[in-house]
Structure 1
Amino acid sequence: MHPDAAFRWDDLASLTDFVSVHSFGMLFASTPEGPRVAHVPVTWLDERRDEMRLGFHLSRNNGLVRHLEGSRALFVANGPHGYVSPDWYNAADQVPTWNYVSVELEGSVSTLPPDDLPLLLDRLSGENEARLAPKPSWTRARMDTEKFTRMLGGIVGYELRVDQWRGTRKLGQNKPVALRTSVADALEAVGNDALAALMREGP
């Protein structure tokens, strides 16, 4: 998380929604061989005992699989980001920077029971297929059952029980509105509409 309090983002509902919308990120964990990262699609699982649980899966051949059970891990989801040129402020004595939106989730990891793995995959595919509407949604009912079961053997499902949330929205909140607007205009001109829109939203 960025150390400047001006960029701190701690609204739990919006952090949760951000992870749902982006639904892909990096999972970091320590291993005896050193720190490792896996790139994973994620989905929120049903709440249990007032805990937020993030579901994900890895290839059984992934080196992290041997070390995740019972460990602590960090998941990071990144949103729109981009370089900001000092010229875009139309003001003197500015420096280059990078604006971005990011969420960090930390917690303990548990392996999901095998019977829960198909449900995790159904949730992941269902959420992402819904974004492709009006295309008819794909479901595993369209697969051969035996082939699906064999493919399940190649992955392992997990839940990250989140106990720490850290969000950053570094969007020029420490600058006057006129300078932020000038940068947003420039970002749009180079095709970074998503970051420009966030900067126009305000703090």
Structure 2
Amino acid sequence: MYTREPFTLPLPAMVDFVRARSFGVLATYHDGTVHTSPLPVDLRGSEEAGLFVAGHVARANGMTAAFEAGAPATVTVMGPDSYVPAEWFGTRGRIPTWIYCAVEISGRLEVSDPARTRADVVDLIDRLQGQTVEGSTWSLDEMPPELTEGYLRNIVGYRLHDLRISSCFRLNQRKADSDRLAEVLAASDDTVRRELARLVLDPPTAGTA
């Protein structure tokens, strides 16, 4: 990912962003083919103990060959974004642009055995249930065993190790008219643009400290 220091988040903020979103696109290259898959992203571990990504894809997905080969791969997690016309800066003398938020995680793929795949699926569901439904106690154990086992047979788990994590939160930093841009975004009926208004006024990037 191309980025610059003013657009880069500190590592703890990148980890928090990925865990809050928990969805991205996994891309890898194997045997002459580029494979991509949108899927849940479970960033686990800690900066001190080591970070890794756990996940899974359908067994029928051709990407699974890259897991066996230990191929390099990249996960891109996108946040809010918007096209910005010149008029939103209160002028016709600026080139239109795009503001966006993204974190990229690169590493080495490793296939998971069935036991670890199941454990990773359970951990992911438990975390997302807790984030999404307050007080949820639902678990995979409530499913009929034959349905759960059938589902697990039809997926292949993976982990992504030796991570390199980068970010680009391009939010009009170090340019004029951010207040004007944020005012226009905040007045939008679009919830994504209203979220961007807050970020433009207070970018979470390292270069703004």
Scaled by the length of structure 2, what TM-score is found?
0.88
- Cα distance in 2 between the residues matched to 1:48 and 1:79: 22
| C-alpha displacement of 1:54 | 0.5
Query: Cα 1:85–1:137, aligned 2, differ >3 Å: closer, same or farther?
Result: farther
| Paired amino acid for 1:53 | F
- Cα distance in 1 between the residues matched to 2:47 and 2:153: 26
| C-alpha displacement of 1:36 | 1.6
Note the residue ranges of structure 2 that are not aligned, 5 or more in a row: none
Instruction: Quote the sequence identity (%).
Output: 25
Secondary structure class of the residue paired with 2:116: helix
Contact 1:58 / 1:156 at 8 angstroms: preserved in 2? yes
* Equivalent residue runs for 1:74-113 within 5 Å: 74-91=74-91, 93-113=93-113
Secondary structure class of the residue paired with 1:99: strand
| C-alpha displacement of 1:103 | 0.5
Q: What's the counterpart of residue 196 of structure 2? A: 195
Secondary structure class of the residue paired with 1:98: strand
Q: What's the counterpart of residue 151 of structure 2? A: 151
Contact 1:54 / 1:162 at 8 angstroms: preserved in 2? no
Note the residue ranges of structure 1 that are not aligned, 5 or more in a row: none
Aligned residues: 200
Secondary structure class of the residue paired with 1:127: helix
| Paired amino acid for 1:196 | A
| Paired amino acid for 1:200 | L
Give a deviation string over 1:45-96, Cα, whole Å, max 9, x none: 3469943110010000001011223110011000011111111111452110
- Cα distance in 1 between the residues matched to 2:45 and 2:164: 18
Secondary structure class of the residue paired with 1:95: coil
Query: Cα 1:91–1:2, aligned 2, differ >3 Å: closer, same or farther?
Result: farther
Contact 1:40 / 1:58 at 8 angstroms: preserved in 2? yes
- Cα distance in 2 between the residues matched to 1:34 and 1:13: 34
Report the aligned-residue RMSD: 1.9
Scaled by the length of structure 1, what TM-score is found?
0.90
| C-alpha displacement of 1:169 | 0.8
Q: What's the counterpart of residue 183 of structure 1? A: 181
Q: What's the counterpart of residue 63 of structure 2? A: 64
